[in-house]
Structure 1
């Protein structure tokens, strides 16, 4: 369940991003090749999302939100963005982020 980004537990995340959730093939040609959930943010950057405490390869909670605009809070890691909190954007203007 998404956390309230403005609630009392929202004090720790290092970074907040806004973008459209999409699914794309990553790590093509390697043993890690897979379809992954990415956040397409303004400027064209795409970040693999991994929700803290969830399975890193399949997350039904995030998969159900594919195509929607999200605001995520968490930490940028070497190969992915670790999501601590997220919310679905109500003001979807159609842009990627």
Structure 2
């Protein structure tokens, strides 16, 4: 019998991305509830949608800060991007 994983709720919104040399608006989707994230090794995953150029530059930067629609700020680590795509994948932590 296959073991089912608990499905985390999606948290959608428009936020502000900041990395060295750039600050701008992006759309994001996070798997899980960001307000429940506490200091420690736990992380949430998600992706951001923007222009292909910004997505590529953010991925190259590696680290960024994402300000959510509700004003909360989180450090993110960019973990994936396909050349020419407008999506970059990230992990977030407190």
TM over 0.5: no
Q: Which has the higher contact order (CA 8 A, sep 6+)?
A: 1
Which structure shows the bigger proportion of residues in helix conformation? 2
TM-score by length of 1: 0.30
TM-score by length of 2: 0.31
